[in-house]
Structure 1
Amino acid sequence: MKWTKLTIDTTCEAEDLISAFLEEEGVLGVQIEDNIPLTEEEMETMFVDLLPDDMPENDGTAKVSCFLDDTFDVQEIKDKVAAEIRRLSEFLPVGTGEITESETKEEDWRDNWKAYFKPFRLYDNIIIKPTWEEVPEDATDEDIVIEIDPGTAFGTGSHETTRLCIGQLKKYMKDGDEILDAGSGSGILSFVCNKLGAKHVLGIDIDPIAVDVAGENRDVNHIPAEAVEFKCGNVLEDQKLVESIGANYDIVVANILADVIIPMSAVVQKFMKDDGIFISSGIINIKEDEVRQALLDNNFDIVDTVYMNDWVSFVAKKHV
């Protein structure tokens, strides 16, 4: 299969907003290239010895790339991106905004990204590593090591939205909790919950390939299928799936787009225990107010809000 690669020349300020826009258009294979230096926190948690010694200076520029298969109207996506760049330019620098187009064969890029996916730490004691890399030498018996091969499913754990979710899970999860992972992708949040002591985790994703990938990753991590289960379906449309999920979850976690969290907030309470909580992430900051209002409109109390760069995570409970 041939794929069309679009590359947008932009700025570090605009890269996340453009990426989020592409994802909202259904384009999930988004790649960002920039020279932003690591923060002190990242220097402490990532294996920075894997970075090249000749990293260029950060000049504020960035490239956002995506791959489109033949189901997309390439010109339509280009026109929409150009319009979004013009809109963004009204309140932040967007750079040249030039969009270049090229073709690539699936076998040329399918595995190239693996060169950039290296082991890294989250919150001191969680190590995320690809299946093709060795466990870091400084890992200890106290570390939680999770192996991931995302394949074509979303989720390596490195994105801010996933980090936000994991931080909230570490804060609010208790041993023996029942967890629903809505939009489970490669399964990384489900596996973190299992390693943190969840009694049972159910992961739901609308993509059957993601469900298969998550199942394979579960086996790689030697997690029993009865402890972490994956199902394919859409909780907004599939009533049989909704009925099969039940209403026994201490935590529902959703690391998905804001435009999905908004309608999901109207149905998610039926899966939660009375004292359960809803952790949502994947929310770009320009959508923060919309998601907050949707939660409030659907009888939630927001008990925690956490930010990381351009991204937002809410923790909400049923209003009593």
Structure 2
Amino acid sequence: MKWSEICIHTTQEAVEPVSHILHEAGASGVVIEDPDDLHRDWETKFGEIYDLSPDDYPDEGVLLKAYLPVNSFLGEAVEEVKEAINQLLVYNIDIGHNQVTVSEVNEEEWATAWKKYYKPVKVSDHITITPTWEEYEAVQEGEMIIELDPGMAFGTGTHPTTVLCIQSLERHLEKGKTVVDVGTGSGVLSIAAAKLGASQVDALDLDEVAVNSAKLNVKLNKVQDVVTVRENNLLENLDGSPDLIVANILAEVIIQMTEDAFHSLKPGGKIITSGIIQTKREMVKEALLSAGFMITEVVEMEDWLAVVATKPE
């Protein structure tokens, strides 16, 4: 089978929404080539276990690459991707150069091209994320391993916003507590919550493809007795009041759901929000405060941040 590589030159801010658009178009995985990765100063305890080649990265901006089968619908799919990316301007998202190119590769080249980007990554004190085809054994006591199939996932769990959420879950999730994961995508945050001791996790996503992907990853990590994945719009139709809500989604969507989150949480409950670019820090904090939350913590990584807020008891 022949495949087409669709390459989009965009910005860090647009990585998450553009990745989502590519998955909706039928891409099985997304490669992110961000030149900042070449210069990132990893802490000793959190590091990638492979070397990066400067030849794979642009001089500025970010390249997102995805692979679609060559068929009669390809042209239509590419046009829909372009139109959906342009629509991000409505949400005041910087899409940068927004240059879209398409090239053809054969199946063997496609498999090699995207798999080489996914290696085990230690993202926090206790959690390492590894693709399913990599053999990896824990190297320290208490290390938890999350296996993901990036061929079906919305992200591999190594984007700064996801890392910030996982690290925040380690600090704020108490064992035995209940969690709602809004916009679960690959299910990585729900899986992390389960491994960190949550008694029940409700993983929600409006996208059917994401729901199916999360279900597979939940089973792969053997946490289906704790994590329930279902199609749902944000916080509608929740069963009961959770102890913690985690949402790694667009800042604009977080703002829309702050009041619902406040009313849904138990007194003393917490919300962990990420997917927030630095320029939108204040608007998210103001929305949380306006809903009644107290800001507990703000943590940063590169141009991204996560905000943790608490509902007063």
> Shared fold by TM > 0.5?
yes
Q: Which residue of 2 aligns with 1:216?
A: 216
Residue 16 of structure 1 pairs with residue 9 of structure 2: no
Q: Which residue of 2 aligns with 1:148?
A: 148
The answer for unaligned runs of 5 or more in structure 1 is: 237-241
Q: Which residue of 1 aligns with 2:102?
A: 102
Percent of residue pairs bearing the same amino acid type:
32
Q: Which residue of 2 aligns with 1:196?
A: 196
Question: CA, structure 1 residues 23+191, in 2 after alignment: closer, same or farther (shift >3 Å)?
Answer: closer
Distance 1:110 1:234 in 2: 34
The answer for unaligned runs of 5 or more in structure 2 is: 24-29, 69-73
| TM-score scaled by length of structure 2 | 0.80
Residue 183 of structure 1 pairs with residue 175 of structure 2: no
Question: CA, structure 1 residues 179+278, in 2 after alignment: closer, same or farther (shift >3 Å)?
Answer: same
Tell me how many residue pairs correspond in the alignment: 295
Distance 1:51 1:126 in 2: 20
Deviation digits for residues 79-116 of structure 1 (CA, Å, limit 9, x no counterpart): 779x99xx979xxxx7xx48352244795747742221
- The answer to whether the 8 Å contact 1:19/1:30 transfers is no
Q: Which residue of 1 aligns with 2:122?
A: 121
Q: Mapping of 1:41-52 within 5 angstroms?
A: 41-42=42-43, 44-48=45-49, 50-51=50-51
- The answer to whether the 8 Å contact 2:8/2:64 transfers is yes
Distance 1:196 1:74 in 2: 37
Give 1:270's aligned amino acid. H
- The answer to whether the 8 Å contact 2:31/2:114 transfers is no
Give 2:197's aligned amino acid. G
SS of 1:314's partner is strand
Distance 1:149 1:281 in 2: 22
Give 1:19's aligned amino acid. V
Give 1:51's aligned amino acid. D
For residue 30 of structure 1, report the CA deviation from its aligned partner.
6.7
Residue 284 of structure 1 pairs with residue 280 of structure 2: no
- The answer to whether the 8 Å contact 2:31/2:117 transfers is no
- The answer to whether the 8 Å contact 1:179/1:198 transfers is yes
Distance 1:291 1:261 in 2: 7
SS of 1:174's partner is coil
Give 1:303's aligned amino acid. T
Question: CA, structure 1 residues 33+39, in 2 after alignment: closer, same or farther (shift >3 Å)?
Answer: closer
For residue 300 of structure 1, report the CA deviation from its aligned partner.
1.8
Distance 1:202 1:78 in 2: 30
- The answer to whether the 8 Å contact 1:155/1:187 transfers is no
Q: Which residue of 2 aligns with 1:310?
A: 303
Give 2:129's aligned amino acid. I
Question: CA, structure 1 residues 154+36, in 2 after alignment: closer, same or farther (shift >3 Å)?
Answer: closer
Q: Which residue of 2 aligns with 1:293?
A: 286
Give 1:318's aligned amino acid. K
Question: CA, structure 1 residues 294+117, in 2 after alignment: closer, same or farther (shift >3 Å)?
Answer: same
Distance 1:156 1:270 in 2: 32
- The answer to whether the 8 Å contact 2:183/2:248 transfers is yes
Q: Which residue of 2 aligns with 1:239?
A: none
Give 1:273's aligned amino acid. K
Question: CA, structure 1 residues 18+250, in 2 after alignment: closer, same or farther (shift >3 Å)?
Answer: closer
Deviation digits for residues 257-299 of structure 1 (CA, Å, limit 9, x no counterpart): 1121111112112321111111100111122122122212222
Q: Which residue of 1 aligns with 2:33?
A: 32
Question: CA, structure 1 residues 212+7, in 2 after alignment: closer, same or farther (shift >3 Å)?
Answer: closer
SS of 1:41's partner is coil
Question: CA, structure 1 residues 247+114, in 2 after alignment: closer, same or farther (shift >3 Å)?
Answer: same
Distance 1:290 1:106 in 2: 45
- The answer to whether the 8 Å contact 1:2/1:105 transfers is yes
For residue 314 of structure 1, report the CA deviation from its aligned partner.
0.8
Distance 2:143 2:198 in 1: 17
Two-structure CA RMSD over aligned residues (Å): 3.4
Distance 1:37 1:4 in 2: 23
Q: Which residue of 2 aligns with 1:159?
A: 159
Give 1:228's aligned amino acid. V
Asked which structure has the greater CA Rg, the reply is 1
Q: Which residue of 1 aligns with 2:230?
A: 231
Question: CA, structure 1 residues 195+76, in 2 after alignment: closer, same or farther (shift >3 Å)?
Answer: closer
Distance 1:63 1:211 in 2: 27
SS of 1:266's partner is helix
Distance 1:197 1:254 in 2: 18
